[in-house]
Structure 1
Amino acid sequence: METVCAVIVTYNRLEMLKECIDALLKQTYTLDGIIIINNNSTDGTKEYLDDVVKENKKIQAIHLDENVGGAGGFHVGVKEAFERGYDWIWIMDDDAEPRTDCLKILMDFVYRHKDVGFVAPLIVNKYSGKIQNYHHKRLNRTLTRDIPISLEFIDSQKVIELDANAFVGPLISKAAVETVGFPRHDFFIWLDDTEYTYRIKQKTNSFLITDAVIFHKDGIAPIDSIRNFWKVCYGLRNRSLWINSELRGVNLFIGHLCLLLEFIRLSLWIMLKMKWKHNRILGLKYLIRTLFCSYRRISGRFIDPSEYLRTLR
């Protein structure tokens, strides 16, 4: 039997974390380990995990001294699991809840097929029951457009080849990690999952297994596009870093042109939309900072989310 370790990254969502751990412990394919990366939570997560670790020897908690973002958390978690020698690393955020047979279905597939870099379960919204097909992706040649696998294709196929996938349940082989390394910690948040799974896909085979289901507990409230604008900035900067590291020649030129057009579109959105009327200067300030960091190839944390939210009107 090949060994499997789950890696969870958590930040201030204790109740969801408890449900995620419970779902992992109920898997019909028994996990060999669970590593939880606590991104400096302040809601009692540390105290809870310290008790859980004492009760279950399979569970390990790593408490970080600062919030290094989802990207930093997954870098730490994948590296820890890899160095402990697990054959497969199953990664997810704390708002994921795999169905009890999810891991067994994924492992049944990898036992039957060679040269698999990662396999991903179908992501379904826990509250609406809708398939989140936008998390299962193909990419255009300039890496500027994520193309969701269509719902019709998902309905008709058991196995679908992917270019990339969200960090909501992909099962990654040790061999893939040996080949491509770890997730990029310098992205902080957003696009780290797409970049990493795409990197794996360039070296080996990657699939969506539609019979395996993982529930995703997001989308409870409508998305506030202004409050979440700092994440959009990270997404733009990270995509710029990514295409610079991945592309050459004409594709790189076109990729930069597409990103520049996106900056222009967002500038017009900030200047013209009424929802931005009290925060136009703030939005443009952060967009200019993003443009500067993108084209100077400045990685790491460049926006403090709490500072951005605090200055919103």
Structure 2
Amino acid sequence: MISQQSIAVLKKYISRAKKTAQKASLIVITYNRWEWTEMTLNSIFKNTFFPYDLIVVDNHSTDGTVEKLKQLRRSNKIDTLILLPKNHGVYVGFNVGLKYGNYNSCLSILGNDILVSPYWLAACCFFASRLKGLVAPPTQAKVRGWVTRHKCPIVKYEGMRIVRITWSVVPPVMTKATLQKIGYFREDIGKRELSFYGVADTEYGERAAKLGVGTYYILDTDCKHIPCMLGELQ
């Protein structure tokens, strides 16, 4: 949980962002599972205080999700809705959102299976701009286990615990400059593999490391992976 001391720092950061018209592009990839998508979006609406444009990229959902998303677009809850003509896989969807949303100074990508916690985006943008790396909230208990098992050094900055790791971070937040340095996710690793998380994430983290771009988790954020919460994925 983010401390009150750190919240005060983040509130000042948010205030400066509003005064200078800074925003993040918050990109959410959806495919069916409306009940999870709704949970993800509601957590964003409730807990995201840093200024953002919400860009939803739908991978040709067939369960009624598209009409629900259109309703949210009509009510201006979603700023931009991109409907893909078929399911191209998650990483193609990520790239579509990143290419559209790169007009903002910071970019975040989420799957439709994440519950975000208060001040998560402010914290991630704060450190993405200062560390010039890929920054993420840990969403699964196993990530914290890896940090402990590998004895990753943890540092405190403005009251928040940051750990630099040697693998990819999910879901990443980055500045526009970092995106321009690393580039987009690979879409040619294998179409079957691209239906699942992990393969292109790993390659992206390796590419970042080769370019000298660090990968970091903010341990005080408390975002959750819905399948893990429901016991469907350990």
In which range does the TM-score fall when normalised by the shorter chain? 0.7 to 0.9
The 1:5–1:151 alpha-carbon spacing in structure 2 relative to 1, beyond 3 Å, is: farther
Query: Paired residue for 1:180?
Result: 182
Is 2:104 the partner of 1:102?
Answer: no
Q: How many residues align?
A: 201
- Asked if 1 retains the 8 angstrom alpha-carbon contact of 2:163 and 2:216, the reply is yes
Q: Does 1:197 align with 2:205?
A: yes
Give how far 1:81 is off: 1.1
Matched with 1:213 is: 222
1:11 aligns with 2:31: yes
Partner of 1:118: 134
Identity of aligned residues (%): 25
- Indicate the structure whose relative CO is greater, using CA pairs within 8 Å and at least 6 residues apart: 2
Q: CA RMSD of the aligned region, Å?
A: 2.6
1:138-166 Cα offsets, whole Å, 9 max, x none, are: xxxxxxxxxx4335847965211123334
Name the CA distance, whole Å, in 1 between partners of 2:99 and 2:92. Answer: 11
**2:220 is paired with a residue of what secondary structure?**
strand
Partner residue in 2 for 1:149: 147
Q: TM-score, normalised by structure 1?
A: 0.58
Equivalent pair of 1:10/1:94 in contact (CA under 8 Å):
yes
Alpha-carbon separation, structure 2, partners of 1:122 and 1:167:
7
Tell me how far 1:215 sits from its aligned partner. 0.7
Structure 1 residue aligned with 2:170: 167
Question: CA separation of 1:77/1:167 partners in 2, compared to 1, >3 Å: closer, same or farther?
Answer: farther
Query: 1:205 is matched by which residue type in structure 2?
Result: G
- Report the structure number with the largest CA radius of gyration: 1
Local SS of the residue matching 1:213: coil
Aligned to 1:132: 142
Q: In the aligned structure 1, how far is the partner of 2:126 from the partner of 2:151?
A: 22
Change (3 A) 1:151 1:10: farther
Q: What are the superposed Cα offsets for residues 88-113 of structure 1, whole Å, 9 maximum, x if unpaired?
A: 111111001110221122233345x2
Note the residue ranges of structure 1 that are not aligned, 5 or more in a row: 125-130, 137-147, 224-313
User: 1 or 2, which has the higher helix percentage?
Assistant: 1
Segments ≥4 residues shifted beyond 6 Å: none
Task: State the one-letter code of the partner of 1:198.
Answer: E
Q: Which whole-Å deviations, capped at 9, do the CAs of 1:158-182 have from their partners, x for residues lacking one?
A: 21112333433x2111111111211
SS of the equivalent of 2:29 reads strand
The change in CA–CA distance for 1:64 and 1:93 in structure 2 (over 3 A counts) is: same
Letter of the structure 2 residue corresponding to residue 56 of structure 1: N
Equivalent residue, structure 1, for 2:92: 72
- Alignment map for 1:211-250 (pairs within 5 Å): 211-219=220-228, 220=230
Matches of 1:151 and 1:23 in 2, distance apart? Answer: 30
Instruction: Name the TM-score, length of structure 2 as normaliser.
Output: 0.76
Instruction: Identify which of 17, 20, 24 aligns with 2:40.
Output: 20
CA distance in 2, matches of 1:109, 1:38: 29
Residues 1:41 and 2:61 aligned together: yes
| Residues 279-313 of structure 1 deviation map (CA, whole Å, 9 limit, x = unaligned) | xxxxxxxxxxxxxxxxxxxxxxxxxxxxxxxxxxx
